[in-house]
Amino acid sequence: MMPGPVPSLSRWEESSAGGPAGAASTFLRAPSVARMYDYFLGGKDNYAIDREMADRALDRAPVVARLAQVNRGFLEHAAARLAESGLRQFVDVGCGLPARRNVGDIVRRVEPSCRIAYIDNDPLVLVHARALLAAERGTGAFGGDVRVPAALLGHPGLRRLIDFGRPVALLLLGVLDFVTDAEDPRGIVRTLLGGLPAGSHMVITHTERTPQLESLAETARGAGLAFTPRDRAEIAEICAPLEPAGPYPAALPLADTADLDGPLPLAGFVGRKPG
Ligand SMILES: C[S@@+](CC[C@H](N)C(=O)[O-])C[C@H]1O[C@@H](n2cnc3c(N)ncnc32)[C@H](O)[C@@H]1O
């Protein structure tokens, strides 16, 4: 099934009787990946329906909270390394709700002129992202669905903010896990890469399939969340169009973010567009 368009905020508000309060109730009828992830990270932008589902997830697979934290740590690590290596434009796809440290906070510490585009297909994420992440010059938050990659890259606001004639760092952290095989994650990466100029990089994280996470995926699918852990070989195939830029794909946490817990069923990858 083709994913539908991402509702703009005005359509979201129009489509719900009762104004913003009605709109909120429309979106609070089901748990959201972004708000559950916020809960796992210790955030406050989540509701009872999200916490209930997140607690069920923790019952099935207690590792998920740790996965979320290490995933976020890798985002911070990769964004900082790419800024240090000279990348100045960042497109954070499936950016999630604002966290303690966001891509802009990290890369602008290296170079204040960095431009950052935050993209998500969850309208509530966009409300928060526009208010908190994209308030400064050189930043923007846009609706986009990674399952429609050409449309995502063609967003007029994104193209005004980001100069696609210069290298871009495109971040896909914890997002392809919510794209089913039928929606073709490999094709999505190829299409996104094809729209980026030479010198561009992509960062990908993906959860690995374990019996525990497979059981969690089944529960999640029952709640309408297409969580799809994959095995190492499948993740490597998704990343195959990219040239590895460092010791990747790597089991996370990396040595410099590791603690005593050891590797988790989570792979992190940084790659560049082949020249
Ligand atoms: C697990 S969170 C990861 C957030 C952030 N990227 C990070 O790694 O810290 C997944 C995010 O991807 C978003 N997402 C899920 N499916 C998406 C899609 N098809 N297109 C765009 N965003 C999507 C969710 O709304 C959520 O904000």
- Classify strands 243-244 and 266-272 as parallel, antiparallel or unpaired: antiparallel
What integer best gives the mean pLDDT of the chain? Answer: 88
In the chain, % of residues over pLDDT 90: 78
Q: Which residues contact 191 (CB under 8 A, 6 or more apart)?
A: 149, 150
Domain ranges of the chain: 64-272
**By CB neighbour count within 10 A (0-12 exposed, 13-18 middle, 19+ buried), where does 218 fall?**
exposed
Q: Would you state the pLDDT for residue 275?
A: 83
- Is the per-residue pLDDT at 24 higher than 60? no
Which residues, 6+ apart, have CB-to-CB distance to 193 below 8 Å? Answer: 200, 202, 241, 242, 273
- Check residue 134 and give its pLDDT: 79
Mean pLDDT of 32-55: 95
Q: What residue ranges line ligand 1, CB within 6 angstroms?
A: 33-34, 37, 71-72, 75, 94-96, 120-122, 125, 145-147, 173-175, 178
Q: What percent of the chain has pLDDT over 70?
A: 87
Query: Is the pLDDT reported for residue 45 higher than 70?
Result: yes
Q: Which residue has the CA at smallest separation from atom 3 of ligand 1?
A: 174
- In this predicted model, what pLDDT tens digit does every residue of 128-181 receive, in sequence order? 999 988 788 999 999 999 999 999 999 999 999 999 999 999 999 999 999 999
- What number is the average pLDDT over the span 181-199? 97
Of the candidates 56, 64, 35, 59, the one whose C-alpha atom is nearest the C-alpha of residue 47 is 35
**Ligand 1 site-directed mutation target among 72, 120, 133, most atoms within 8 Å of CB:** 120
- pLDDT band, residue 249 (cuts 50/70/90): low
| CA 258 to ligand 1 centroid distance, Å | 24
Q: How many CA atoms lie within 13 A of 61 on its CB side?
A: 28
Q: Which one, of 161, 174, 144, lies nearest residue 68 by Cα?
A: 174
pLDDT band at residue 29 using 50, 70 and 90 as cut-offs:
confident
Residue holding tokens 């069923």? Answer: 265
How would CATH label the architecture of 64-272? 3-Layer(aba) Sandwich (3.40)
Q: Judge whether residue 20 has pLDDT over 50.
A: no
3-state DSSP assignment of residue 142? strand
d(CA 104, CA 220): 31
Q: Say which residues have a Cβ less than 8 Å from residue 273's Cβ, sequence separation at least 6.
A: 193, 196, 197, 198, 199, 200, 201, 202, 242, 243
